[in-house]
Structure 1
Amino acid sequence: MQFNTIPEAWQAISLSVLALLVLTALVFDLRQRRIPNKLVLLMLGVGLLFNLIGPQTWLQGTGLFTNYPGALGAKGALLGALTGLAIFLPLYLLRAMGAGDVKLMAGIGSFVGPATAIDVALFILVTGGVLAVVRMVWVRKTQLVLFNVVTALGQWVPGSVAHFDPATQSADRMPYGVAMAVGLLAYGAWIFSGHHPIVNV
């Protein structure tokens, strides 16, 4: 069921709600170092709902981050959530990212769809890398962080006795919600300043 909503109005409301939910997750991450499951479930539900009832344009399924916004439907929202989950799941399995961050990316994916979820994830990863380097220099733990990186990579070499546990040996952990919020904002700025998506399907 679609409502007769002006596409631009639907886009503005959807982007505002997405931004509000991501900022709420960021506040939880900064204060409690966790993102509540209830917030992620709310995000998934709202993303699905907006893509179910949003307007269909002549370019059906164009999504939020475009000059021709249009709802993706249930299939697009669900595929976006699964794509977001799949992209960050390996980082969780390597213990380089928390489960809440992975689920938050699934929530973002439910709003933006699969192709845009890949783009947003790339921006988040680059943003996270830049913020990590800045923080590493700021807190003056460059040598310890580099040692941990070498140790973490070395444990994958056959025959190596190196072992690295991110949960106990990290020199400094940045709440990844910061990278997710800034990365999403950076992607929006990239698209709405006239650049093309990186993944264009």
Structure 2
Amino acid sequence: MLPVDPVIAWKFSASAWSLAIAASDWRERRIPNALLAPAAVLALIALSIQGASPLGASGLAVAKGAGLALLLTLPGYLLRALGAGDVKLLFVIALLGGVWMMLGSFAIGALLTAAGGLVGLKVRSLLGLDPKQGRHLPFGSALAVGLIIMMFAGDAPPGWR
């Protein structure tokens, strides 16, 4: 039997979790705490036991990521542009993978949401529908996809671990 690298196992587990988050946010436009809390607790337990996040980030990178996640999302939440689930999801992503994983997930999520919004506006316009009457795109789904991409895109540069 071949030994399994714990980080690889975490990546596949986190991918399944991310897909569940994306599906929930896409379908119901909300991210349940029942999906977020266990991941946060497991990330904190792993950090305290092994001194690194489940996806290999140092405690300092996790702290920086968690703080920055709140700085990036709380203004959007206060302006009602983001939901509380989006804020909590980005925070949990930081707990799982640190600042590099969080920033990459945020950037990819923002790009996916912007691209989807532009495509949606164009399609609604082509169909003769009012472009402003469409539903908002779920940012949590885009963050979850961003996390999956970041996990398999390669390791963080040494200064970001």
Which amino acid in the other structure matches residue 14 of structure 1?
Answer: W
Closer, same or farther: CA 131–144 of 1 in aligned 2, 3 Å? closer
Q: Does 1:186 align with 2:153?
A: no
8 Å CA contact 1:80–1:109 kept in 2: the answer is: yes
Distance 2:30 2:151 in 1: 25
Which amino acid in the other structure matches residue 52 of structure 1?
Answer: S
Shift of 1:176: 1.9
Q: Does 1:72 align with 2:58?
A: yes
Identity among equivalent positions (%) equals: 28
8 Å CA contact 1:109–1:117 kept in 2: the answer is: yes
The structure richer in helix per residue is 2
Shift of 1:34: 1.0
Shift of 1:78: 4.4
Query: What pairs up with 1:16-165 in 2 under 5 angstroms?
Result: 16-54=12-50, 64=55, 70=56, 72-73=58-59, 76-140=61-125, 144-145=131-132
Shift of 1:182: 2.3
Q: Could you list the runs of 5+ residues in structure 1 that have no partner in the other structure? A: 1-5, 65-69, 146-169
* Structure 2 length-normalised TM: 0.76
Q: Could you list the runs of 5+ residues in structure 2 that have no partner in the other structure? A: none
* Structure 1 length-normalised TM: 0.63
Coordinate RMSD, CA, aligned: 3.1
Aligned residues: 156
Distance 2:106 2:26 in 1: 20
8 Å CA contact 2:62–2:98 kept in 1: the answer is: yes
Distance 2:54 2:58 in 1: 6
Distance 2:85 2:146 in 1: 16
Closer, same or farther: CA 136–53 of 1 in aligned 2, 3 Å? farther
Q: Based on CA coordinates, which of the two structures has the bigger radius of gyration? A: 1
Distance 2:97 2:9 in 1: 13
Residue 137 of structure 2 aligns to a residue whose secondary structure is coil
8 Å CA contact 1:81–1:109 kept in 2: the answer is: yes
8 Å CA contact 2:101–2:151 kept in 1: the answer is: no
